[in-house]
Chains A and B, each alone.
Chain A
Amino acid sequence: MAQKRGQRGASSSADDPEVVARVPLQAVLLADSFNLMFRPITLERPKVLLPLVNVPMIEYTLAWLESVGVEEVFVFCCAHSQQVKQYLNQSEWTKPAARLSVTTIESHDAISAGDALRVIYEKSVIRGDFVLISGDTVSNMSLAQALHEHKERRKKDPLAIMTMIIKHSKPSNVTHQTRLGTDEVIMAFDPETKELLFYEDKADPSQRVISLDKILLADSPALYMHNDKQDCYIDICSPEVLSLFMDNFDYQHLRRHFIKGLLIDDIMGYKIFTYEIHSSYAARIDNFRSYGTVSKDIMQSWTYPLVPNVKYFGCCSNMKLDRQGMFKALDVVQSRSAQIGAVTLVGSGSTIGDHSVISHSVIGQECTIGRNVSIHGCYIWNNVIIEDDCKLNHAIVCDGVHLRTGVVLEPGVILSFKVEVGQQIIPAYSKVSLLPQPSIQDSDEELEYADTNSGVIESPSITSMISTRNAELSSDYSATENSGLSEVGILGVGYIWCSYEGGNDEEWRHSVAPIPASKLAELSHDDYEDPDVSYQEVNSTPVSGEMRPDSEITGDDDADGTDYGDSADFDKEVEATFQRALTGVNQENVILEINSLRLSCNKSHADCAGALFLSVIKLGLEAPHSSNGELYQNTAKEINRWKDILKHYLKSVDEEIEIILKFEEICLEIATEFSPLFSTILSSLYEKDILSEDAILSWASEKEGADESDKIFVKQSERFITWLKEASEEDDEDD
């Protein structure tokens, strides 16, 4: 209703700002990321409440929404919804003085953003255009222009239902991910209207070529393809978006399903547009790497005014900014000999011991840091105790963690709430939690979401956590009950999680730690190899008639997935078929099967004959034998048994010669047992009419010019050959 009124008003009375303003700007904030990126931390606390430079992430999102003039926010909570609600109830946002109204919508069956939007649709609270954002987004952009463009477009074209905010960000050429640790996104849009035409965020890395539908260019003369744009995950949506999610109940993921569905299936002709921001900041914290990157950006004031020393969030009022981006709460107790380096924040109530060095890190509130501690690139939350001589490098340390003397955290370590670590080195990329890793890891993502939201994780709400802490402090719990708890050293409490999915190999991508140089070198090497592959691939698509012969050589067969190109493989296939014949398949069927194999592999009769002969000989070899005589007997028997099939493929002298050559090869390479029997078997093949004298004679004459080494078998069969010759001469004389 309200939206309709707004539209009519806008179109009739020019641009009366009052009429437009009457529709309050609404926002849907998803307080659940519906993925497992922040596990194990998110087992205990929802992601939106995790501190980002000592302020819960959702604060940044809400502050931004307030700053852009959003009046009503619907916070959708799912996992840990009690915690989120409790937090919001205590926060400034729900006080009567707040400039925006925050309403929570709770659902426990939602396992995806799609489900969340369906729930919101059913509540029918959205009356007009709304901002769709997830509660882990940090931005300082101004929405006015984007909103204006969106509304103008809607007036002209009701099908323009969504405006996506994007930002320039070039993914690394080596890792193909952005500095936020997200995969590269390939987008295409219309240069004039900025309509989004193509969106691919999970590009198949083996695919070297991006294929754009030709329809995209049917109407417009040009389009832009980008991989240097970052999706900010801030969308301005029209109410139709919600009903689209309702209609397409299988849409789960906002991008993978909804955007692609709209672009590819072209539902009702709905269109998505983009709005690029240039100088302002917008980033979503999707993984640990972006957590680190955004934290640094905040400390370097890229997100101004959402920075620690501005009284934006009621809490952090007493921050003092020193040179080089060094923030220190006024009540920090710092030893004279301790050094705090650049781009570091130390929260209030923390103490830092002698000779400790801290740089590029965030230290929360009420932390105790001992002597000779080195902390570099770490995110240490509240109430953490770090004893003397610890070394921390690019780690995330959650609330209440206790590191005993001499602990070393290698890059990328995550220590979840209240983990205790004894004297030990925690290897790189380890994740340690008090909660055991859920044992059943289903590869189906949606089920994993379900796991996240199931009641088990619900339990440690803020209040209950205090009680558990008490329980854990009693050492018997940690020492005796669980053998796994000793994983983190003497007096340690916690399980080391083994990495799920993709394995440790991919862990570096999303870790807070910088990408190791060795990895980069390896990747750039791979990258260097790439173009060859792409060359071949492009090559095998018929670019022009002339290119095709080339590509066939490079192995088109491989492209079909069936690799019969190699003759050895063909031999194996024939042998397998032949083996089936042994188990009682009709001989004629064997011939049929071999024929079809021959056609599919593009082989000649001669190849079949050779392969078959090999199989027969092998049969002879497999039968138990103790002397050459027995071997001959066995082989002769097998030859006799299968001569019909063999003869089927011996249509001409050429194929017979092929068999002799194959036999030579067998004697030399495959089954050398046969070499002394060559001439005997040859003559028995002759006797059984499998080989003709023409074939044997022409084989012998072919070999005459060959190397000595090639003539072993000719010599061995010399007597037989001369006999043949004489016999044929006699025949001639008879004629």
Chain B
Amino acid sequence: MARMDFEVVVLAGGTSRKLNPLVSQEVPKALLPVANRPVLSYVLELLEASNLKDLIVVVEGEDAALRIGGWISGAYVDRLHVEVAAVPEGVGTAGALRAVASYLTANDVLIVSGDLVTDVPPGAVAATHRRHSAVVTALLCPAPVSGPSDTGTSGGKEKAKKPVRCNIVGLDPTRQYLLHMATGAEVEKDIRVQKSILRAVGQIEIRVDLMDAHMYAFKRSVLQDILDQKDKFHSIRQDILPYLIRTQLNSEVSDNGVIKSESGMDNISSQNDLRWLSQHREIAPSAFQEPHAFGLKSLPDARRTHKCCVYIANESKYCARLNSIQAYSDINRDVVGEASHLSGYSFSAQNNIIHPSAELGSKTTVGPQCMLAEGSKLGDKCSVKRSVIGRHCRIGSNVKIVNSIVMNHVTIEDGCSIQGSVVCSNVQLQERVVLKDCQVGAGYVVTTGSEHKSESLARK
């Protein structure tokens, strides 16, 4: 396979505050286990599968960088060539890029968020980017259907399952060009579309059912220019991408240079594509209308344009970002359930994964879409449904675990009931603890008989 001239930057983040108490100094976001593998491994293996093996992983915070670097060098020693760069916390995604921008040399840069769990091949995004010789190409996925954890055994009724609104996206009729993008708080506001862009294309499709997956291909020279010139830009999503979309008809970035060397054809198409889209399809073009009267030919070609493209992932592809506790539960559930091919494990006949070294007591049942990692022990009469249990957990008898994630080295004593919760490593749940929709931070001890509902428990 021919090597693509792409460099990859993985933005692994730091210790996201949104994910408290799941993350900590010891477990930065990138190392949060999803089906017992650090979430970052999903991105790294995805890239590896696309033959993108030279990576720069940018981590916020020195400590986190050390930990992540340590893990990568252990796990991928012969497979990937990874540089881990540490940046101060709070510099934002643009700041993180700025820190590594000077090391980039390839024509194009692929930027992937480290919390992405997907099976969309990055190669497809890269190829789209190349084909259009775009300035930026963003991966859009169908917005995830918010999974209010289907409580109990009744199963998730299809009640009010509406896609979460992540972005408002404007596309051209061919769905190749990105003409509008609203993120964050803007999503809740009125939609403000630039008239000049609407005029250029004639038709904009506004979609709210697509999500920006935070995988972008950028033209390297353009990205570096923007990072240099716009030193106020803080985030890719909120600053750089909107800036490029906004100015695509009146480009301020030096788009040529790099492209020209590739081939003349490319350059021509890049100049004219949006125009091409806007060409008249008039039913009755009066032949003796003066040619310049309504034609576009008279437009001064002084205006420079650049292209912002999209790659829209197929409905069947899985795509999710681990950016909230809800998302963490959803992704864990999906990876051992609907999107089981992502986990890389082979499932048993019962559609679950039970490590051979795990021990189960008598009358203990582990349902489908469950995972039980090595060295964990379950006592008698336990019931595990749609949950992930980590390594070397000691679980007593009469324990019910439903829709939950239990990380490593957790001790759960007899008679506990855990529902819709996340239990971090080294937690001790004493007898008859009842947790519903809770998060328990690492090393926390939940005392005997206590009941918690929708709480976040962590060590002070």
A residues in contact (CB < 8 Å) with B: 167-176, 179, 184, 186, 188, 191, 203, 207-214, 216-217, 221-228, 278-279, 281, 293, 296-297, 300, 302, 342-343, 360, 377, 514-515, 517, 520-521, 524-525, 527-528, 530-532, 534-535, 538, 541, 543-547, 549-550
- A530 near B284 with CB under 8 A, answer no
Please indicate the chain B residues that have their CB under 8 angstroms from the CB of A213 in the complex. Answer: 190-191
- Give Cα A517–Cα B293 distance, bound, in whole angstroms: 8
B289 lies within 8 A of chain A by Cβ = yes
B16 lies within 8 A of chain A by Cβ = no
- A300 near B286 with CB under 8 A, answer yes
- B298 near A521 with CB under 8 A, answer yes
Q: Closest approach, in angstroms, between the C-beta of B444 and any C-beta of chain A? A: 34
B161 lies within 8 A of chain A by Cβ = no
Known: A170-B281, A209-B193, A528-B303. A227 touches B207 (CB 8 A): no
Known: A222-B207, A545-B234. A214 touches B191 (CB 8 A): yes
- Give Cα A210–Cα B180 distance, bound, in whole angstroms: 12
Chain B 244-284 residues near chain A, CB threshold 8 A: 246-247, 249-250, 278-284
- 15 new A-B contacts, CB < 8 A, other than A227-B199, A531-B250, A534-B246, are A167-B283, A168-B282, A170-B279, A170-B282, A175-B294, A176-B199, A186-B198, A209-B192, A221-B207, A224-B205, A225-B170, A226-B202, A521-B300, A543-B239, A546-B235
Q: Closest approach, in angstroms, between the C-beta of B180 and any C-beta of chain A? A: 9
27 A-B residue pairings within 8 Å (CB atoms)? A168-B283, A170-B282, A172-B293, A173-B296, A175-B294, A179-B282, A186-B195, A207-B195, A210-B192, A213-B191, A217-B191, A222-B207, A224-B205, A225-B203, A227-B198, A227-B199, A293-B286, A296-B287, A296-B288, A343-B288, A514-B289, A515-B290, A531-B247, A535-B246, A543-B242, A544-B234, A544-B242
- B300 near A525 with CB under 8 A, answer yes
- A210 near B198 with CB under 8 A, answer yes
Which residue of chain A is the closest to B200 with respect to CB atoms? A173
B194 lies within 8 A of chain A by Cβ = yes
- Give Cα A228–Cα B204 distance, bound, in whole angstroms: 10
- Give Cα A530–Cα B302 distance, bound, in whole angstroms: 13
Please indicate the chain B residues that have their CB under 8 angstroms from the CB of A223 in the complex. Answer: 205-206
Count of chain B residues with a beta carbon within 8 Å of a chain A beta carbon: 59
B120 lies within 8 A of chain A by Cβ = no
Please indicate the chain B residues that have their CB under 8 angstroms from the CB of A227 in the complex. Answer: 195, 198-199, 202-203
Please indicate the chain B residues that have their CB under 8 angstroms from the CB of A208 in the complex. Answer: 194-196
- A170 near B239 with CB under 8 A, answer no
B residues in contact (CB < 8 Å) with A: 92, 163, 168, 170, 184, 186, 188-196, 198-200, 202-209, 232-235, 238-239, 242, 246-247, 249-250, 278-290, 292-294, 296, 298-300, 302-303
Closest 10 CB pairs of A and B: A228-B202, A531-B250, A221-B209, A544-B238, A302-B284, A546-B234, A212-B191, A514-B290, A296-B286, A225-B204
Q: Closest approach, in angstroms, between the C-beta of A185 and any C-beta of chain B? A: 11
- Give Cα A208–Cα B249 distance, bound, in whole angstroms: 13
Q: Of B246, B287, B299, which is within 8 A of A174 by CB?
A: B299
A169, A342, A377, A532: most-surrounded residue (chain B CB, <10 A): A169
Please indicate the chain A residues that have their CB under 8 angstroms from the CB of B232 in the complex. Answer: 546-547, 549-550
Known: A179-B282, A217-B208. A225 touches B199 (CB 8 A): no
- Give Cα A173–Cα B199 distance, bound, in whole angstroms: 6
- B194 near A544 with CB under 8 A, answer no
- Give Cα A176–Cα B278 distance, bound, in whole angstroms: 13
- B199 near A211 with CB under 8 A, answer no
A184, A521, A546: most-surrounded residue (chain B CB, <10 A): A546
Which residue of chain A is the closest to B198 with respect to CB atoms? A227
- Give Cα A550–Cα B294 distance, bound, in whole angstroms: 38
Please indicate the chain A residues that have their CB under 8 angstroms from the CB of B200 in the complex. Answer: 173
Please indicate the chain A residues that have their CB under 8 angstroms from the CB of B208 in the complex. Answer: 217, 221-222
- A209 near B195 with CB under 8 A, answer yes
Which residue of chain B is the closest to A394 with respect to CB atoms? B290
Please indicate the chain B residues that have their CB under 8 angstroms from the CB of A360 in the complex. Answer: 288
Known: A541-B192, A544-B239, A546-B234. A531 touches B288 (CB 8 A): no
- A279 near B191 with CB under 8 A, answer no
Q: Of B235, B247, B299, which is within 8 A of A535 by CB?
A: B247
Please indicate the chain B residues that have their CB under 8 angstroms from the CB of A343 in the complex. Answer: 287-288
Which residue of chain A is the closest to B183 with respect to CB atoms? A544
Which residue of chain B is the closest to A521 with respect to CB atoms? B298
- Give Cα A428–Cα B298 distance, bound, in whole angstroms: 23
- Give Cα A227–Cα B199 distance, bound, in whole angstroms: 6
Known: A514-B289, A543-B238. A300 touches B284 (CB 8 A): yes
- Give Cα A186–Cα B203 distance, bound, in whole angstroms: 10
- A517 near B298 with CB under 8 A, answer yes
B191, B193, B204: most-surrounded residue (chain A CB, <10 A): B191
Which residue of chain B is the closest to A222 with respect to CB atoms? B207
Q: Closest approach, in angstroms, between the C-beta of A516 and any C-beta of chain B? A: 10
- B242 near A191 with CB under 8 A, answer no
